[in-house]
Amino acid sequence: MKESVTLKKLMEKFPDDIVGTHSYRGDDTAVVKKDKIRDICLFLRDDPDLLYNFMMDLTAVDYLGRDPRFEVVYHLYSLPHNRRVRLKALVPESDPTIDSVVSVWVAADWFEREAYDMYGVKFIGHPNLRRILLYEGFEGHPLRKDYPLKKRQPLIGPVN
Amino acid sequence: MGLKLSRWTVTRNLMGGKAEDAGPERLLDGSVILTRLEAAVNWARKYSFFLYPFVTACCGMEFMSVAGPRYDLDRFGAALPRFSPRQADLLMVVGTISHKQAPILVKVYNQMAEPKWVFAFGVCAVSGGFYDNYSVVQGIDTLIPVDIYVPGCPPRPEMVLDGLLLLQQKVKQERWTDWPRGEAPVSRC
């Protein structure tokens, strides 16, 4: 299969930060290191051949037992070129932080808050990184695979 | 005479009394009804619920069905939904209550004037249902006192009507001393 424009340009621009790529059945995916995620996103948004101006989704995945444990996943769409790409940024458990991309796409705001709420990945530079679905005072991050199934929260008490 | 007698017998039964202690009424030829004030007030209350629909989830569709013309809550005097808790006396909790929603439910309950009753509509309100997880209240009776539990996912309209009739039976037996119940403790979550 012919390699996609996006992945080719990414490899040329950030050769040291791309861990791996694949484009199975046309699904372009790049696994990247987390350090330059903001630069990569800016490049994807602003390069005239790419113009990924629509951030469709941002979430996280917990691969418990693997190192690095977390992945932050970005799904991007280019309206001018009708192309999609998926970025996976590797985030280790020892340092669960990654640069925020709110300054690149404003839409990332609530997605990053949700990922922080559910997985405890901190987005550095986020303007308002609070819990979005759960309440202040909730302990832990419930979508982590090691969150206890029957855990009860202190503010709610043993009955609930 | 026979006609009049049967009329006051029916009325008397409605008021929760027994036919044999109806001596004075018999003397007055059925034109006067003697009863306890408590019983008369309870009789009025049980046929005039003003309900507050606290609808959060898919059970709301079933609530609309049971409130609509086909099953018609109006037949039991519980037709008029009030969208201010100050004007309502029956809190219908219809649907899943999450922990983030819990303080709001408690606040609405505390804003209602007494006497007031709580109707847990559907299994999520009754016990949390299959949402045995980190985000859902495991039954609203952990927050506020509940009078009637109607399980089901969602409950059939007949179950809701049956629950309402049971609540009417409960209201009929209440005493002055049952009120006021006082505030539910405000949840900190």
Q: What is the pLDDT of residue A57?
A: 94
Residue ranges of chain B whose CB lies within 8 Å of a chain A CB: 99-100, 102, 133-135, 137-138, 142, 187-189
How far lies A127's CA from each of A6, A120, B2, B125, in Å?
29, 16, 83, 37
Report pLDDT digits (tens) over B29-69: 767 777 889 999 999 999 999 999 999 999 999 999 998 89
Considering only the C-alpha atoms of chain B, give the largest distance between any 2 of them, rounded to a whole number of Å. 67
Report pLDDT digits (tens) over A66-90: 989 999 999 999 999 999 999 999 9
Asked whether this complex has an ipTM greater than 0.90, the answer is: no
Q: State the pTM of this model.
A: 0.79
- Residue A100 banded pLDDT, cuts 50, 70, 90: very high
* A143 in B contact zone (CB under 8 Å): no
Q: Check residue B133 and report its DSSP letter.
A: S
Q: What is the pLDDT of residue A121?
A: 93
B99–A137 CB contact, under 8 Å? no
A154, closest residue in chain B (CA to CA): B189
All residue ranges of chain B with pLDDT < 50 are 1-5, 189
Residue type at A61? V
A133, closest residue in chain B (CA to CA): B100
How far lies A53's CA from each of A31, A46, A112, B71, B102, in Å?
20, 8, 17, 52, 39
* A155 in B contact zone (CB under 8 Å): yes
Q: Which residue has the higher pLDDT, A2 or A27?
A: A27
Residues 6+ apart with CB under 8 A from B74: none
Residue type at B71? Y
B188, closest residue in chain A (CA to CA): A155
B189, closest residue in chain A (CA to CA): A155
* A142 in B contact zone (CB under 8 Å): yes
Tell me the residue ranges of DSSP E strands in A1-95. 18-24, 27-33, 54-62, 70-78, 83-91
Residues of B in contact with A131 (CB under 8 A): none
* A130 in B contact zone (CB under 8 Å): no
Q: What is the pLDDT of residue B101?
A: 87
Structural tokens at position A116: 């922080």
* A131 in B contact zone (CB under 8 Å): no
Q: What is the pLDDT of residue B92?
A: 93
Q: What is the pLDDT of residue A63?
A: 94
